[in-house]
Amino acid sequence: MIAQTRFSVLDRSRTREGHPPAEALRDTVALAREAEALGYHRFWVSEHHGVPGVAGSAPTVLAAAVASATRTIRVGTGGVMLPNHRPLVVAEQFGVLEALFPGRVDMGLGRSVGFTDGVRRALGRDKGDAEDFAAQLGELLDWFTGSSPTGVHARPSEGLTVPPFVLAMGEGAEIAARAGLPMVIGDLRNRERLLRGVDRYRTLFRPSPWAAEPYVVISGTIAVAGTEAEARRLLVPEAWSMAYSRTHGTFPPLAPAESVEARPMTAKERGFYESGLTGNLAGTGDQVAHELETVLKETGAEEVLVTTSSYDRPALLDSYRRLAALFAPGR
């Protein structure tokens, strides 16, 4: 089943202690080249604002850099947070990308707003803007089909086909289904919630001009190494960063695994940290292959979007190579 499944990469341009944000962006472009050479299907980038640990704040700009540095891999966003933008502007940005890189651009769309109250104020948004996501999504798609009731035409977007994907969090699965769009859903660490979301999406799906059938992309952290301990070590920096954000309200750059493991933690920090190390797909190639076969059988997913981040860049690249050997042996 693994060999029949598409594997793709979402890189969030995570910053690292002692390294400037610009390096994180260059690392993203370098990883895209590597992913293309390894046979990954797509390479996506994300949108975060005012987050110390993430350099990727302008996903369509970064996607253009990635597309320029590669030749065949599909490039897109995972995702542009639609409540932060006017749908016309988003349509124009993706129209430009598709015009420059025809047949290679994806439009992954999310419904989150800023990470903190301060960021939301800076964006001129509030939490309630996420409630209008379905309407914003419909307006965005209208710009591509030329059916906007405004009488305005999006250039060069109108008439172009840029495949849209909905990042499903909470009711996002239902929004994706009713709009007839492919769905990207996380929660690999919460298998029960993942399966509920997938089942709801397939049950409610309505065919559309964008997708005749349901299309499920499951996303999450996957770490492959020579030993189970080495794979777990790859998860340490991100697990600590998440634990710190949950207890201090800010998302820090990734720290080396050894400094994290030597760090004194409060009971609350330790709890979040240990939770972040569990439930991911991590281990040797055989162990991860077994887990992947199970989750693919349970979800019937057509694609896996890998979102792994770590301080150790060589080890992270090695993990992506080892994973590629599972779905594309012989490359």
User: Which DSSP letter does residue 188 get?
Assistant: T
pLDDT tens profile 258-294: 999 999 999 999 999 999 999 899 999 999 999 999 9
Q: Which residues contact 143 (CB under 8 A, 6 or more apart)?
A: 87, 88, 91, 92, 154, 157, 158
Q: Residue 330's pLDDT is what? A: 62
CATH H-level, domain 2-229+280-327: superfamily: Luciferase-like domain (3.20.20.30)
Residue 301 has pLDDT above 80, yes or no: yes
- Is residue 86 over pLDDT 70? yes
Q: Average pLDDT of 124-153?
A: 86
9: phi then psi, degrees, rounded to nearest 5: -125, 135
Reduced to 3 states, what is the DSSP secondary structure of residue 86?
coil
The pLDDT of residue 120 is 80
Query: Which strand ranges, in their side-by-side order, compose the sheet holding 6-11?
Result: 74-77, 42-45, 6-11, 303-306, 216-220, 183-185, 164-168, 107-110, 80-81
Q: What is the DSSP letter of 16?
A: B
pTM of the model: 0.95
How far lies 306's CA from each of 20, 45, 127, 258, 329, in Å?
24, 12, 28, 24, 18
**Cα dihedral angle (37, 39, 41, 44), rounded to 10 degrees?**
-40
What's the mean pLDDT in 166-177? 88
The HSE-up count of residue 34 (CA atoms within 13 Å, CB side) is 19
pLDDT of residue 218: 96
**Beta strand 222-224 with 42-45: parallel, antiparallel or unpaired?**
unpaired
pLDDT of residue 38: 97
Is pLDDT above 70 for 170? no
Mean pLDDT lowest among 6-15, 131-140, 218-227:
131-140
Q: What tokens appear for 12 in the block?
A: 């969030």
Indicate whether 13 pLDDT > 70: yes
Per-residue CA distances from 112 to 128, 237, 281 (Å): 10, 24, 25
Residue 129 clears pLDDT 70, i.e. is over it: no
Mean pLDDT of 190-205: 93
Can you give the pLDDT at residue 128?
66
Please give the share of the chain, as a percent, with pLDDT higher than 70.
98
8 and 44 in contact (C-beta within 8 Å)?
yes
pLDDT of residue 3: 86
Mean pLDDT is lowest, of 41-45, 126-130, 263-267, for 126-130
Q: What is the CA radius of gyration of the chain?
A: 19
**pLDDT value at residue 188:** 83
Q: What percent of the chain has pLDDT over 90?
A: 83
Does the structure show a pLDDT above 80 at 77?
Answer: yes
Please state, in angstroms and as integers, the Cα–Cα distance from residue 42 to each residue in 57, 60, 67, 145, following that order. 20, 15, 11, 24
Provide the b/e sequence for 279-299 (b: ≥16 CB within 10 Å). Answer: ebbbbbeebbbebbeebbeeb
Question: What is the pLDDT at residue 130?
Answer: 64
**What residue type is assigned to position 293 of the chain?**
E
